[in-house]
Amino acid sequence: MLQFEYLNKEKISSQLELVERIELFLSKIDRSYQLAVEIRNKVSQYLFRQGHLAIC
């Protein structure tokens, strides 16, 4: 289980930067592992639509 706190502009410059970083991270994960990710920003809706996240 990976948990990401709410990231404001002091921690990350934009939602686009957050999406790019998360997509890069997810692309490098060994898919044989089951992984749960909690994101507390609205960007989680975008990642779900892109097929990176599932509702559990």
Residue 44 vs residue 55, higher pLDDT: 44
- Give the span between the Cα atoms of 44 and 48, in whole angstroms: 6
Residue 20: the pLDDT is 85
- Give the span between the Cα atoms of 38 and 51, in whole angstroms: 15
pLDDT category at 56 given cuts 50, 70, 90 is: low
DSSP string, 22-48: HHHHHHTS-TTS---EEE-STHHHHHH
pLDDT digits (tens, 9 = 90+) for 11-34: 888 878 877 887 888 888 888 888
- Give the span between the Cα atoms of 41 and 29, in whole angstroms: 21
- Give the span between the Cα atoms of 32 and 18, in whole angstroms: 24
